[in-house]
Amino acid sequence: MAAPDLHDHENNPADEKAHVLIIDDDDRLRDLISRFLADHDFRVTTAASAEEARQRMAGMSFDVLVVDIMMPGESGLDLVRDLKTSSPNLPCLMLTAMGEPGHRLHGLETGADDYMTKPFEPLELVLRIKNILARAQTMPVAEPVATSGIRFGPHLFDRDRRQLTTAGQRQHLTSAEKDLLGCFCQHPRQTLSREALSDMLGGQMEGRSIDVAVARLRRKIEPNPGKPIYLLTSRGHGWSLETDSIE
């Protein structure tokens, strides 16, 4: 199921919603969870396999993953174990049809933040996701080691972890802001049109939604958002990010 449409209204923007990636090869269950979470004010993207999940994560940022353990090919356990080595702060909730305690412990040993056995009540999933997100906001964040950082002024954006620091201090970005900044950092000093950004974001944002996201991002990275010096407008063409260096 496609992610819910984004809304343009700046006072209730979709980019403020927590972004959930659901990874499950069961089409029916994936669609059910997606609809339920969307109805409870989450931004939702889905993947039917670990491979498809990696493709989604290459172009978007997520606040929490909901991962089925048993999938063809790479299992959910292997996916979470691998992701936790590069993104230890990314919350993951695992789903399985197996209820034995040993499987639960095995899932938690991979670094998963929570575990649910199928079948489950959808509302319980919502509550558990909210609890995971609340814990993630209060936990100390591991200091990022920028292996692919983009510097502009006092800012450093780690493209691998999609984390922004300003003068060494971690900046809070919504998932949509991380996605947008990631696009500009993939193509530093190049003008990107609305259409190009929408394509890079897989259609998650377009038109007015991109304008709103650019304005919000400027408020976080510009000394004076009304007179930007980093995220510049090329009238009629789009925007470009003026960077100092690539590390």
Q: Identify whether residues 83 and 118 lie together within a single domain.
A: yes
Query: What's the pLDDT band for 108 if we cut at 50, 70, 90?
Result: low
Average pLDDT over residues 79-97: 84
pLDDT of residue 109: 65
Residue 73, domain extent = 14-138
Q: Is the pLDDT of residue 7 over 60?
A: no
**Residue where a domain stops, chosen among 138, 165, 191:** 138
Strands (E), the chain: 19-23, 43-47, 64-68, 92-96, 114-117, 149-152, 155-158, 163-166, 169-171, 231-234, 238-241, 245-246
CATH number, domain of 56, equals 3.40.50.2300
Q: Is the pLDDT of residue 127 over 90?
A: yes
pLDDT of residue 241: 93
pLDDT of residue 68: 92
Contact criterion met (CB below 8 Å) for 38 and 44: yes
pLDDT of residue 8: 34
Average pLDDT, the chain: 82
**Residue where a domain stops, chosen among 138, 158, 184:** 138
Within 24-173, where are the H helices? Answer: 27-39, 50-59, 76-86, 101-109, 122-138
8 lies in some domain: no
Q: Identify whether residues 238 and 171 lie together within a single domain.
A: yes
Q: Is the pLDDT of residue 238 over 90?
A: yes
Count up the domains in the chain and report the number: 2
Average pLDDT over residues 55-82: 89
Minimum mean pLDDT range among 78-82, 93-97, 168-172, 213-217: 168-172
- Side-chain half-sphere exposure of 152, counting CA atoms within 13 A: 23
Query: What's the pLDDT band for 230 if we cut at 50, 70, 90?
Result: very high
CATH number, domain of 233, equals 1.10.10.10
Partner residues linked to 67 by β-bridges: 23, 94
Q: Is the pLDDT of residue 233 over 50?
A: yes
**Residue where a domain stops, chosen among 94, 112, 138:** 138
**What is the tens place of the pLDDT at every residue in 133-152?**
887 765 544 444 444 688 99
pLDDT of residue 204: 72
